[in-house]
Amino acid sequence: MFPKMFPKVFRKISLSPGSTVEERRFSAASTATDDAGFSPCGRISRPSQSSPQLPTHTVKNFLATTLVVIALVVASLQALAQNSKGASATADLPPGSMQAKATTSCLECHEASIILQQRLNKAAWTKEVDKMTKWGAVVDPTDRDALIDYLSTNFSPDKPAYDPQRTSAVKNGSGKTK
């Protein structure tokens, strides 16, 4: 059965009547490497059939080009991040005794526009500050009431509506740009 399936291998194995099992195994193992289909490592271990190597300068050029592209992507992402943050985080919030605290507590997670567009009374601001504190906002317990007063004074329902800065052309009533 096996000689028919692997004729090249069994042709090379010496099967003399006086040979021992060890001799047959040794003979089979030594001839099996000549047949590339017998072992999955047969082609890899043979120096005459090694895979072609890329020239060293090609690999070096590829690596240099890759590093330059990565450096350009990182630089452009940094520039984009700096442009999107604006000039100053505290410039957006109205001045007051708690402006710095509101900046560190609120603008850690939110953009200033989220706070600027709110129009809440003192009770609603209290709920909001307590909720954000539970979600991880860092508000010193001694500053909590002062922060709520700052927010309810500057962003109360009686203040005019928030008018965001426009970055594109002004649209007329029909939705088309002027």
The structure's pTM equals 0.45
Exposure b/e, 145-164, CB count within 10 A at least 16 = b: eebbebbbebbeeeeeeeee
Written as six digits, the tokens of 81 are: 């991040």
pLDDT at residue 72, rounded to an integer? 87
pLDDT at residue 38, rounded to an integer? 54
pLDDT at residue 130, rounded to an integer? 94
Q: Is 177 helix (H, G, I), strand (E, B) or coil?
A: strand
Task: Give the separation between CA 127 and CA 130, rounded to whole angstroms.
Answer: 5
99-154: CATH topology:
Cytochrome Bc1 Complex; Chain D, domain 2 (1.10.760)
pLDDT at residue 103, rounded to an integer? 87
Name the residue ranges covered by the structural domains of the chain.
Answer: 2-49, 99-154
> By the 8 A CB rule, do 102 and 129 touch?
no
3-state helix, strand, coil in the chain (%, to 5): 55, 0, 45
Task: Give the separation between CA 40 and CA 19, rounded to whole angstroms.
Answer: 28
Neighbours of 55 (CB within 10 A): 8
Task: Give the separation between CA 51 and CA 112, rounded to whole angstroms.
Answer: 60
3-class secondary structure per residue, 148-165: HHHHHHHCCCCCCCCCCC
1 closest CA partner among 10, 36, 32: 10
pLDDT tens string, the chain, 178 residues long: the values are: 555 666 655 555 555 566 666 676 666 666 555 555 555 555 554 555 556 666 777 778 888 889 889 988 888 887 777 665 543 445 578 888 888 898 888 988 888 888 888 899 999 999 999 999 999 999 999 999 999 999 999 998 998 888 877 776 666 655 555 5
> By the 8 A CB rule, do 144 and 129 touch?
yes
Written as six digits, the tokens of 130 are: 């307590």
